Structure 1
């Protein structure tokens, strides 16, 4: 890590978390709910203490933070327009809100997991290809480095794995440089895809409230129940993000505002609970604790 590193990084924008707060002792507070320990007594916290991760981007994180800030600093006026019922009056607000959805899709526990799994898969394929296509050069390199002859496939596989572990690409994976480049590139790529394919839906509940998870932007298909989630962006029917107890953004085929039933609100809140890495957050007076506990127990 270097001098530009920022250790504690919010994966859920504080500007969104504040929407779920009420005045409390020491400032505004919201209710975190631990989906891994649903019976645990929950305590109110301020938004700065919620939705964050240590060293999410572990290498030169200031560049990524600058990219996120380029969106987040423009969010408050767009949120004001949403609350006023005029989210589409200014095209810049539509762009900011759509990019806010993408930001939370990429800057997420889920995306980091996908990145890690993909790297391990590719490394395994590289190891297999080295053994299948270049066994003799591998043996010569092993003899040069270790002085040992490696006749068997097992020892050859171990040496190939050692070479991969010593590579610059693996080192950039270990120190987080590869992930930082990946997450920044993916953000720009998905923003372009979203701008070319998707419009913005702003949904409000007929009754009830939304909650928000620590992995809040979720890809979904809507053709079956319960909604399948966390597929690749290009395979999804929509990408949803709660932005307050009374508003949720969804990417769709056209710009629209709409009211949705209590049953639909429950389905979308259940999606947040299923997608969460550890916590969902709610307004302290939302009355959603029992709902969250029942759903968390169901998916344990």
Structure 2
């Protein structure tokens, strides 16, 4: 029997979101504070991890397969976090691998990846349509006559028929039902995991201030610009970063190290999380200054984009 499809799929692991929570009042469970970066003036109530960082049917075809893969990574996160908090993240190589895999997971399983995937497929489809019309016009006319009994003359009608053929293809059908995306994102995870294996792990803590986490939290960044640039290809990045608590951030680097970073760099990293977020950033409920920072940064970011 085929497993039921899973609709509520967390792009930000709940085990990760829990690191930004505190116990709510009157037995309401662990809660964190969301900030809506699309509507920074909106005041959001505290929320549970279950209601944050998820997407409805992100993987629409055989979601159980993807969830099984993600779970294989997330299972090792809790004990790895405990090692980080104890100041011993590198004592056990299993913890290092678990943390690095968690960075890779959140880099791949993201709104950003789905957008890149969708745009790439649509670009290829448009290019293929043009190539069919330019290189195989007679074959298209014969096939159109066979299927529709119509004689197609102009490039517009040929293009429309070429698009119809593409939509009927197995690849296009698998794109529509989500099978292609599920296969693509699983393959990409394995590729990036292999590419990240030679990298080491930096565990960074702020001299002052706290980290927040966005709903696109695993980010490729370059630090040779101000503000930091982000969302470039894996091989073009200086690092892939992932906040794992208000006081800890993971970064892929050249050597294993535990270090501190100045407040200005914390602000730069938080700014990247806010700008890269699809809809929300999350923080510890008592981070009132950070909430103000997030709202102000999101407001400026939206204003700058509106004026371009």
Distance 2:189 2:4 in 1: 21
> How far 1:147 sits from its partner (Å)?
1.1
Partner of 2:306: none
> How far 1:131 sits from its partner (Å)?
1.1
| Secondary structure of the corresponding residue to residue 197 of structure 2 | helix
Q: Pairwise mapping of residues 156-175 of structure 1 onto structure 2 (< 5 A)?
A: 156-175=158-177
Instruction: Give deviations 1:28-54, integer Å, cap 9, x for gaps.
Output: 100011000000011100111100100
Q: Which runs of 5 or more structure 1 residues have no equivalent in the other structure?
A: none
Q: Pairwise mapping of residues 1-300 of structure 1 onto structure 2 (< 5 A)?
A: 3-25=3-25, 26-196=28-198, 198-287=199-288, 288-300=290-302
Instruction: Give deviations 1:193-241, integer Å, cap 9, x for gaps.
Output: 0003x11110000111000000000111111111111011111111100
| Secondary structure of the corresponding residue to residue 299 of structure 1 | helix
Distance 1:228 1:74 in 2: 30
| Secondary structure of the corresponding residue to residue 240 of structure 1 | strand
> How far 1:4 sits from its partner (Å)?
3.2
Which stretch of the first structure deviates more once superposed, 146-155 or 272-281? 146-155
Stretches (4+) displaced over 2 A: none
TM-score (norm 1): 0.98
Question: 2:220 touches 2:241 (CA, 8 Å); kept in 1?
Answer: yes
Q: Which runs of 5 or more structure 2 residues have no equivalent in the other structure?
A: 303-308
Instruction: Give deviations 1:78-101, integer Å, cap 9, x for gaps.
Output: 000000111000111111100000
> How far 1:3 sits from its partner (Å)?
3.8
| Secondary structure of the corresponding residue to residue 9 of structure 2 | strand
> How far 1:247 sits from its partner (Å)?
0.2
> How far 1:289 sits from its partner (Å)?
1.3
| Secondary structure of the corresponding residue to residue 297 of structure 1 | helix
> How far 1:124 sits from its partner (Å)?
1.0
Distance 2:153 2:94 in 1: 64
> How far 1:103 sits from its partner (Å)?
0.2
Question: 2:12 touches 2:217 (CA, 8 Å); kept in 1?
Answer: yes
Distance 1:286 1:257 in 2: 24
Instruction: Give deviations 1:98-123, integer Å, cap 9, x for gaps.
Output: 00000001110000000000100111
Distance 1:73 1:149 in 2: 60
Distance 1:177 1:112 in 2: 13
Distance 1:235 1:128 in 2: 31
> How far 1:156 sits from its partner (Å)?
0.5
> How far 1:269 sits from its partner (Å)?
0.4
Q: How many residues align?
A: 298
Instruction: Give deviations 1:240-271, integer Å, cap 9, x for gaps.
Output: 00000000000111111100011111100000
